[in-house]
Amino acid sequence: MQKVVILGAGGLAREVLDIFLACNTLEPKYEILGFIDENPLMHDKYLNGFPVLGGFEWFAGIDRKSIQVICAIGNPVNRRKVVQKALDLGLEFCNIIHPAAVITPFVTLGKGVVITAGCVFTNQIQVGNHVYFNLNSTIGHDCIIDDFCNINPGVHISGNVHIKTGCDIGTGAVIIQGVTIDEWSIIGL
C-alpha cells in the first residue's frame, strides 16, 4: 500500500481524504498517515479519524522516499508556497482521482492533481501540476489548464480553452470555447 500524507488540515483536506477513502473501498491501495499543518493549534488533533501529525518538521525523522504527499490547500497562492516547501524537502507528489470521475485515456495529468466525484474530462486535455478539480466540473476537448489552478464545483469549460497558472475559477462558472484566461485570474466572486 502507498503511504500518503495530506498537506493541509482544513475543509479541502478533509475532502481530499474522502477521495482516498473512496478509492480504498474499491481496492485498498492507500495507507493514509494523516495531515500536516503549520498551525500548532491543529497538532495532535484528529480529523475524520486521522491525526494531524504536526508541521513540516514531522518529515525530519521519516523516510521521505517511502511516502507520497498531496497538497490540499485551496488558495492557489498559498498552495504554491506549501508545494515549494515540500519540494525543497524532496517530497514526491501523487495524484488522487475519485472513482466517480470520468476521464478518457486522452488526458495528460501533471503531479499533485486532485479530481473529485462527478468530474468529466473529454479529449486531448493537458493538466499541469497541483490543479484541483471540484465536484461535477466538466472539461471539454483540447483544453490546457496550467499549474496551481482551482476549478470549483459545477464549473463547465468548453473546448479549446487555456487557463493559465494560478487561476481560481469560481463555483458554477461557464467558460465558452476558445478563450484564454490570464495567470492568477479569479473568475466569479
C-alpha cell of residue 139:
472539461
In this prediction, residue 61 carries a pLDDT of: 83
**Nearest in space to 50 (alpha carbons), one of 2, 117, 5:** 5
pLDDT of 24 over the 90 cut: yes
- Strand 107-109 to 138-139 pairing: unpaired
Q: Do 157 and 151 contact (CB within 8 A), yes or no?
A: yes
In this prediction, residue 188 carries a pLDDT of: 86
105 DSSP assignment:
T
**Nearest in space to 10 (alpha carbons), one of 97, 71, 67, 92:** 71
**Cα–Cα distance measured from residue 12 to residue 75, given in angstroms and rounded to the nearest whole number:** 10
**Cα–Cα distance measured from residue 166 to residue 182, given in angstroms and rounded to the nearest whole number:** 9
Is pLDDT larger for residue 105 or for residue 188? 105
Structure confidence at residue 189 as a pLDDT band (50, 70, 90):
low
pLDDT digits (tens, 9 = 90+) for 26-84: 899 999 999 999 999 999 999 999 999 999 999 998 889 999 999 999 999 999 999 99
Q: Is 24 exposed, middle or buried (0-12, 13-18, 19+ CB in 10 A)?
A: middle
**Cα–Cα distance measured from residue 107 to residue 28, given in angstroms and rounded to the nearest whole number:** 25
- φ, ψ (nearest 5 deg) of residue 109: -115, 140
Amino acid (one-letter) located at 62: I
Q: Do 45 and 61 contact (CB within 8 A), yes or no?
A: no
In this prediction, residue 66 carries a pLDDT of: 93
Q: What is the pTM of this model?
A: 0.96
Helices (H) and strands (E) in the chain, counts: 2, 22
User: Which of 64-68, 117-121, 124-128 has the lowest average pLDDT?
Assistant: 64-68
